[in-house]
Structure 1
Amino acid sequence: MNTPIDLLIEARWIIPVEPTNVVLEDHAVAVDKGRIVAILQQNEAGARFSPRQVKRLPHHVLIPGLVNLHTHAAMTLLRGLGDDLPLMEWLQKHIWPAEEKHVSAQFVHDGTLLACAEMLRGGTTCFNDMYFYPKAAAEAALASGMRASIGLITLDFPTPYAADADDYLAKGLATRDELRDEPLLSFCLAPHAPYTVSDRNFAKALTLAEQCDLPIHLHLHETTQELDDSMRMFGVRPVERLRRLGLLSPGLIAAHGTHLDANEITLLAQHGCSIAHCPSSNLKLASGIAPIAALTRNGVNVGIGTDGAASNNRLDIFQEMRLAALLAKGSSGQTSVIGAHQALRMATLGGAQALGLDAAIGSIANGKAADLCAVNINDIGLTPCYDPASLLVYSAGREHVSDVWVAGRIRVADGCLLETNEIELINLAALWQNQIRPRKV
């Protein structure tokens, strides 16, 4: 008697990510109760399972859902505000003043809804967020049916969200306590950056992270100014400062890592830290090119992030995958550095590993959650196909994503969002734009 299951997905190709460098042809993924129960040849599936639903993808590549390892989702409402400026000028003269005036729980909820829609439609099923009003971000992610790691942000200075570091931490932990049983949510402690958090408050965040068994997500070595300021104020560069404070560990997710020397790369590797590589944001803000070839060669886990839409200006992991691979080749002078399979791993399992979620997501494997993305390669710009992995990384784009599942539930079907009214979202964004920078009549 065949085993009843919820869903059988048959695809022309499946790239499971683990084991590495594997492409399965004419295989199927069996899904039940939100989890993968088998990966097998299509001609065997009918003899083993009685699916309630069958999804046939004859011109598609099926991959794990993409993981956006670093973003500020609500900042989609600031997309394009103050472009083409250096990081600190952009922050101090445009972003921070706009945030001080406009950021609220409603702003975060609405901006995160917009971000989730963009990410889901582009094949991203999980994002690691860092922003104010984390409860509002979490509620928007849940409303969108998306998996999210919610950052519990900490800063030294007051904002409309919190008065001081203790207030940030208390509010963040209250959000975590309220929502900790939501299966699509996880949490990180998120002390913003070495230039915005004191030693005392880093120590508090570390203590709480250890007590609650949470990763720590922060910005690190993003600009040369950050390094110069750290030398002036602390006498050491930020990585060494964090080492002395005890923050270097397998639970550390360092966004950017644009300026790292050989000793710092060795330290990150020795302590099992992860880097959230954000190539488009680093280029747009002229921050530099992260030494991804050296990081991966030394065994540092690397995931891919977009940063916020205000500094990218897209939440597009396909674009980041391709750029990450090309920049690594160009900056190292080695064409074999960061191949297609490795770039795809960074965009999936690398991010999941950094978040401590690799037992649940990041690859197509028995027992894992059915977070999946189907890419339709039946397109004039994607033919011929000699290597599906190469095609995904170097040729395909988010516009080729056809179907997306989160925990076995379909969220995008034939390119259309199922949980979101796109027209309503566009109108909502226009209302916020008119508040932030009214159009001249």
Structure 2
Amino acid sequence: MALIIERARVADLFGQYHEMGHVLVEGGRIAAAGPGQAPEVAGAERIDAGGRLLTPGFINAHAHLYSTLARGVPLPRFSPHSFREILEQLWWKLDRALDLDAVYHSAVVGAVGHLRSGVTALFDHHASPTAIMGSLSQIKRAVATVGLRADLCYEVTDRGGRAERDAGIAENMRFAREEREEGHFAAHMGLHASFTLSDETLNRAVQAAGEVGLPFHVHLAEGKEDPLDALHKHGVRTAERLDQFGILTEGTLLIHGIHLSGAELALLAERPASVIHNPRSNMNNAVGAAQVEAMCNRGVRVGIGTDGFGCDIVGELLVARLLTHHATGDPTTLDDSALLSLVRHNYALAEGAFGVPFGKLTPGCAADLVVWDYDPPTPLDAGNLLSHLLFGSISEGLQPWAVIVAGAVRLREGRILGLDETEVLAAARDAAGRLWGRL
């Protein structure tokens, strides 16, 4: 059935803006968008936006849905002095305590958070070492319940021994072969980071990924541990080591990229892999600030994610700018054109994963749309849409009023459809209590 959203401020981050317009959706894609009154379409569902702002949905290029149930977790002996100690004292304890039930509840609450942040597609990086097989199916089931699109992977690492490593590779392969769904669920080969991956493991993962045509989703030089380990054990920097194994390919997601040399930036500019910036997580972990401005200037492909530190890509964009200002001492860095390049690259990554163009309100593009409950206090046009989104998020608390994913209405008038959110949260609290008891 066709869907019409009318009486909306229609805008995208590629320059389209109509002060009062409409969008027609058919078959999960945009059929028409423009100014003025919507056409009459027999049998179409109609949503009156009441003058609210309509934009394409956002993409989260790096999520950790498994971290959702960590909120408020008691950690009496949490006193890290390095990034590795943060992993050892929190995240590597938490992921090992996850069972398949906790994986599901973490994912469904995380998916709800993304929907309520105007994110319609995400790239998730998962780890649950004592519940590996079937874990990606649990995440898929949770995400499908909420109605989002997702690209999933399992984190391969040597930290749990060969059996867990082999199970991680097998779970990536199983999901890629059995559960990908064109337009809705895609896959990567997940890797943790160079400093927890031996040459043997990288060879095995690369060979397996090649059998099913998977790119890679891997943390890159997040903390100093990664480049120091690569230099000490292998005599090269982190990105150089991954390149030796052919990992810096089209579609590969390199997460963080903080501790990179000039030579590594030059290498990444020559390769089609993408660096994904996660500024709020980086600040929280005190690992430094990625050289985003330098990457963009050199031609490195850069997108943006949250690293499990919430779901809000609009807020992440604002923090990316503020962190760059703070780190460089230059208030002109990461201007609108640079921030827009991050957003647009996320859309390109989503197109590569799901096989449909994203981000533009033009015929043929994905009907992933957000109607924001936002009435601008100053003039809004194509040139200042990004500023309205960034500062509306901190001044008015920008919230979706309606969200459409692949042409299906998933949230309307602030209420998630087909899901009892109260029951979801109650079940998650119970699952979190059991999870915390296993830490």
2:415 aligns with 416
SS of the residue corresponding to residue 59 of structure 1 reads coil
| CA deviation map 1:377-431 (0-9, x unaligned) | 12xxx52244332110233266421111110101111122113222112212221
**Structure 1 unaligned residues grouped into runs of 5+:** none
TM (norm. structure 2) is: 0.88
CA distance in 2: counterparts of 1:197 and 1:270, whole angstroms: 24
| RMSD of aligned alpha carbons | 2.5
- 2:148 aligned with 1:151: no
**How far does the alpha carbon of each residue in 1:39-85 deviate from its partner, in whole angstroms, 9 at most, with x for none?**
22224x427x4561222224322222111111110210112445784
In structure 2, C-alpha distance between the alignment counterparts of 1:274 and 1:87, rounded to whole Å: 23
Deviations 1:220-261 (A, max 9, x none): 010112222221121221111112222122222111111223
SS in 1 for 2:240: helix
| Equivalent-residue separation in structure 1 for 2:33 and 2:421 (angstroms) | 34
Would you say the 8 A contact 1:341–1:389 is kept in 2?
no
- Please state whether the residue corresponding to 1:153 is helix, strand or coil: strand
Shift of 1:127: 0.9
Contact 2:102 2:435 in 1 (8 A): no
Q: 1:55 to 1:319 in 2, by over 3 A?
A: same
How far apart are 1:282 and its partner, in Å?
Answer: 0.2
- Code of the aligned partner of 1:72: H
Query: Which of the residues 336, 342, 366 maps onto 1:346?
Result: 342
Conservation of the 8 A alpha-carbon contact between 1:13 and 1:388: no
The answer (yes or no) to whether the contact 1:350–1:362 under 8 Å persists in 2 is: no
What is aligned with 1:241?
Answer: 241
The 8 Å contact of residues 293 and 332 in structure 1, kept in 2 or not, is answered as: no
Deviates more, 1:361-370 or 1:326-335: 326-335
Tell me the equivalent position of 1:59: 51
CA distance in 2, matches of 1:146, 1:235: 42
Residue pairs, 1:280-291, within 5 angstroms: 280-291=280-291
- Larger deviation, residues 361-370 vs 104-113: 361-370
Q: 2:103 matched to 1:108?
A: yes
Change (3 A) 1:163 1:54: same
Q: Show the counterpart of 1:377.
A: 374
Q: CA deviation at 1:361?
A: 4.2
Distance change in 2, residues 1:344/1:54 (3 Å): farther
- Secondary structure class of the residue paired with 1:38: strand
Provide the rounded CA distance (Å) in 2 between the counterparts of 1:341 and 1:27.
26
Gaps of 5+ in 2: 128-134
1:266-318 residue CA offsets vs partner (Å, 9 max, x unmatched): 2111112211111100000001111111111222222211112xxx3x22212
Who is 1:299 aligned against?
A: 299
Distance, in Å, in 1 between the alignment partners of 2:359 and 2:337 is 12
Q: How has the CA–CA distance of structure 1 residues 412 and 138 changed in structure 2, closer, same or farther, with 3 Å as cutoff?
A: same
Q: How many residues are matched?
A: 420
| Cα drift, residue 335 of structure 1 | 4.2
Percent identical among aligned pairs is: 28
- Give the partner amino acid of 2:400: V
295, 310, 324: which one aligns with 1:328: 324
| 1:226 alignment partner in structure 2 | 226
1:41 to 35, 43, 54: 35
Answering whether residue 392 of structure 2 is matched by residue 395 of structure 1, we say yes
| Closer, same or farther: CA 425–341 of 1 in aligned 2, 3 Å | farther
Taking structure 1 as the reference length, what is the TM-score of the superposition? 0.88
